Amino acid sequence: MVRKVKLAIFASGTGTNFQALHDAILQRQLNAEVVRLIVDKSSAGALNLAKLFGVPATFIKYSDYDTKVDAEQVILDQLTQDEVDGILLAGYMRILTPKLIDAYAGKIVNLHPALLPQFPGRHSILDAYEAGVDETGVTVHFVDNGIDTGEIIAQQSVPRFSSDTLLDLETRIHHVEHVLYPNTLEKLLNEGVFLK
């Protein structure tokens, strides 16, 4: 039997996508395990989920380091110790440096709440809402050295209705995220992406 793929999840917020990925791995019996959660905020709700799931968690306080690269070296050392095969970004609100990206080239996946290349960056839901588009969506893509410019793996559109509040649109997008990301992870695992 092929060994289980060891994954690290990076999060900054409540951890709803962490939960969706974790649940999918267990419920679908995917050939993977989450061996590490990395967070950049001590208040991240994802930390509570990690405790609940029994997943080891590391909080990296970037301001404790001279440079972002120094902070990422600490992350890399931990991932190496954990023998991590791939990284799933799940609401991680930091731009990775080439140091980390090159170490896991082709094995870092991000979830973005828009139909890339439209509305890249941190405020994509708000940007789409304010632009008055009829449709936005969710993208799962590989991470490269640009900002939301990596190869697109999967996308799903989400309608924006004229009666929507920003919260309505956010809720609809998050619902799609919680389905598309696990489905895409299953596809990537089946293709052996993280073990190449």
Strands 86-89 and 5-11: parallel
Share of the chain above pLDDT 90, in %: 96
As annotated, the active-site residues are: 112
d(C-alpha 131, C-alpha 140), whole Å? 22
Query: 151 with 141: CB under 8 angstroms?
Result: yes
User: Which residues are CB-contacts of 91 (< 8 A; sequence separation ≥ 6)?
Assistant: 11, 12, 13, 14, 15, 16, 17, 111
Evaluate if residue 1 carries a pLDDT over 90.
no
pLDDT tens figures, 57-109: 999 999 999 999 999 999 999 999 999 999 999 999 999 999 999 999 999 99
pTM confidence score: 0.95
96 has binding-site annotation: yes
Please report the pLDDT score of residue 3 as a whole number. 84
Work out the number of other CB atoms within 10 angstroms of the CB of residue 122.
12
> Is 15 known as a binding-site position?
yes
**Would the annotation count 93 as a binding residue?**
yes
Q: How do residues 131-165 score in pLDDT, each as one tens digit?
A: 999 999 999 999 999 999 999 999 999 999 999 99
Domains, the chain, in order of start with CATH, read 5-195 (3.40.50.170)
